[in-house]
Structure 1
Amino acid sequence: MKACIIGAGFIAAAHVAGYEKIPQVELCGIADIRAEAARALADKHHCRAYTSALEMLQKEKPDAVSVCVPTHLHREAVCLALEQGADVLCEKPLALAMEDAIAMRDTALGCGRQVMTAQVLRFWPEYELISQKLAQKLSGSDWGPLLRLDARRIAHSSRGDWFGDPQRGGGALFDLLVHDLDFVVSILGCQAESLYATGHQNALGGWVHVNALLTWPGGIQVSLEAAGDMPLGYPFTMRFRADCENGCLDFTSQSLQNIATAQQVSSQLFCVEEGQARPLDPGTFPEGANGEAFHRQIRAFVTGVEAGRLPIPFEQSIYGMKLIHKIRASLETGCKMILDDI
């Protein structure tokens, strides 16, 4: 299988590392309009550099393409790769505008190809263990019903103006909260009933700190916090807790940089049941849980391309984007949103 990457930034490097660990994949090209960035990453990994994605796709004819460019450029890159006959792994968030997400879906259908959003939490060792353990406990009766999910993703901004620009990066709402919202959808499904959100905007109008409360059938409450405006030096922090009537799962991780490049400074996952808390061990990973997660994500994508069925249903990604837009509507209006129309 031949693979190419559009984009040569820090997240592209994580995709490169994932492809290189899969024997049946030949990484053959990296394209970026910044010639030096494309050349540096390509030379490091012994493949060809391009400044034109179209030229790369036409010359290399890849089976799989990772799209790792800023969010406002996703639609153009994804549709181009699909039209050139490749299946696509697109970095999150899928898009800033719903019409862009719909256009990607329609292009994939029209070309007979597939698109998968790179929601790396689904492949993160601790989050995978949480998902498996919660499903196991909820299939029985000893933990009782699920009451609430609580997720937080807190960081300082280190990516310049594009991250907080609502027209390019979308701020914490699109870049950070989308991680945990997708993980919640993977657990609870596409059935949210209502939501309400509060937050803080930067000078550009981007939502850089968001708190959202959503409800699912059965009275399940979901609380989400995403922050990209913390003081410089604040550790990148991920937290997730699932509360049942008679049991609980709790995960906290802090790193010095960001989700893709940093080693964890501290990480703890524990389970509370029968009146006791005990640690859960997701395993030991030489390159850290973050490196393992990106490798698992790429492996799952490659396996899905080979099988003709990708592991993350694209309609779940579309649904997640609809929820993000409803959260933004709540932020802008100060109103509770009833979700009977999505």
Structure 2
Amino acid sequence: MRFAVIGIDHRHVYDLIGGLLEAGAECAGYDSATTDPKVAAGIAERFPRIAPVEKRRLIEDPAVDLVVTAAVPSDRAAIAVEAMRHGKDVLADKPGLTTFEQLAAMRQTVRETGRIFSICFSERLLTRASTLATQLAMDGAIGEVIHVTGLGPHRLNRALRPAWFFDPVNYGGILVDIASHQIDQFLFYTGCVDANVVSSAVGHFGAPDIPAFQDFGDILLRGDKASGYIRVDWFTADGLPTWGDGRLILLGTKGTIELRKYVDIAGKPGTDHVFLVDGQGTRHFDASGEKISYFERLLADMRDRTETAMTQEHVFTVCRLALEAQAAAVVVTRLERNAR
């Protein structure tokens, strides 16, 4: 399998390239156009054997099987449509698309071309804690999952962000962007094929000179089997030794599983912590040795035209729910909060 990279505006592109190379794919090159030269420099440093190649050559190369994109989020759908129209499957960084119109275009293009459009929801697919939690849940360790709490705090690192990062038109809003991770996890761990957005909110509580930037959001979801709460934000303090204390709590009928994916604050060192509470007691699992299989399964799906890494309908459902939550969100402000 050969892949090409078109859209290098977000650092998640490093994980996508590295994961595919490790899974055995070959990179045909990357389009060097970017809104963030630091990302281009990072690719050259991390992957010195991959050469920059003009976009048109990559799109029209019949030997390229997959196009990878981590472009400005609002540009990803157009790149994906063009790639699929040229006979390529597509792997996009989340959120993959940012509007209902793009979602409709993606559905139509997949239907007409038969190509795969996959989004890498890295907080599940690329964390070893999630791999272990999936196995525990599938083995019935906590019974039926009836509620999921997903927390997605992030550090802003404002000085490192390109200008597009602060405009909701470019990233789709905080619920489309970050909360797509938690929506993916809610559907996956509960087995719900769909859900309703009961309530949602977005707000800005940070720097006053970027008032349009959404730095807080939450969602309440309800499916046919379970409900869930999601909170995302850009308020990770500088004292935390990583970019965010991302957590996931699965409430089951026989116990709970908590994932502390990136840090166990003032607790055990390292990443990928899984805590299980069941009828036998409490246990901690170090999941750092678990295998990440997403990229291998994606390549196998491309070869066999299967859906083992992720179903196409799951991708579209996550996107639709994120868009619905964003569209329905109440805007909360400092004034409203203080009035309460």
Query: Which category of TM-score, normalised to the shorter sequence, fits these structures?
Result: 0.7 to 0.9
Deviation per CA, 1:30-58: give whole Å up to 9, x if none. Answer: 113149765873583313212x4223222
Name the structure 2 match of 1:297: 294
Q: How does 1:96-111 map to 2 (within 5 A)?
A: 96-111=98-113
Structure 1, unaligned runs of 5 or more: 257-263, 286-291, 335-342
Q: What secondary structure, in the 3-state scheme, does the structure 2 residue paired with 1:85 have?
A: coil
Q: What secondary structure, in the 3-state scheme, does the structure 1 residue paired with 2:49 have?
A: coil
Name the structure 1 match of 2:95: 93
Name the structure 1 match of 2:230: 224
TM-score (norm 1): 0.81
1:307 offset after TM fit, Å?
1.0
Q: What secondary structure, in the 3-state scheme, does the structure 1 residue paired with 2:156 have?
A: coil
Name the structure 2 match of 1:339: none
Q: What secondary structure, in the 3-state scheme, does the structure 2 residue paired with 1:237 have?
A: coil
Deviation per CA, 1:49-100: give whole Å up to 9, x if none. Answer: 12x4223222474011111111011122111211222111111102110111
Deviation per CA, 1:213-235: give whole Å up to 9, x if none. Answer: 222225x3311111124444544
Equivalenced residues, count? 312
Q: How does 1:246-261 map to 2 (within 5 A)?
A: 246-254=254-262
Given that 1:6 and 1:30 are in contact with CA atoms closer than 8 Å, whether structure 2 keeps it comes out as: yes
Higher mean displacement: 193-202 or 83-92: 193-202
Name the structure 2 match of 1:289: none
**Is the counterpart of residue 127 in structure 1 residue 93 in structure 2?**
no
TM-score (norm 2): 0.81
Identify which of 191, 194, 200 aligns with 2:194: 191
Matched residue type, 1:244: G
**Is the counterpart of residue 13 in structure 1 residue 10 in structure 2?**
no
Name the structure 1 match of 2:279: 274
Matched residue type, 2:96: L
Q: CA RMSD in A?
A: 2.8
Identify which of 51, 59, 78 aligns with 1:48: 51
Higher mean displacement: 204-213 or 176-185: 204-213
Given that 2:13 and 2:93 are in contact with CA atoms closer than 8 Å, whether structure 1 keeps it comes out as: no
Given that 1:193 and 1:217 are in contact with CA atoms closer than 8 Å, whether structure 2 keeps it comes out as: no
**Residues 228 and 312 of structure 1, relative CA distance in 2, 3 Å threshold:** same
Matched residue type, 1:89: L
Name the structure 1 match of 2:32: 32
**Residues 252 and 133 of structure 1, relative CA distance in 2, 3 Å threshold:** same
1:279 offset after TM fit, Å?
1.5
1:127 offset after TM fit, Å?
1.1
Identify which of 311, 314, 317 aligns with 1:316: 314
Structure 2, unaligned runs of 5 or more: 333-340
Given that 2:154 and 2:235 are in contact with CA atoms closer than 8 Å, whether structure 1 keeps it comes out as: yes
Distance in 1 separating the partners of 2:164 and 2:131: 31
Given that 2:273 and 2:287 are in contact with CA atoms closer than 8 Å, whether structure 1 keeps it comes out as: no
Deviation per CA, 1:85-125: give whole Å up to 9, x if none. Answer: 21111111021101112212212332232211112213422
**Residues 152 and 185 of structure 1, relative CA distance in 2, 3 Å threshold:** same
Given that 1:5 and 1:31 are in contact with CA atoms closer than 8 Å, whether structure 2 keeps it comes out as: yes
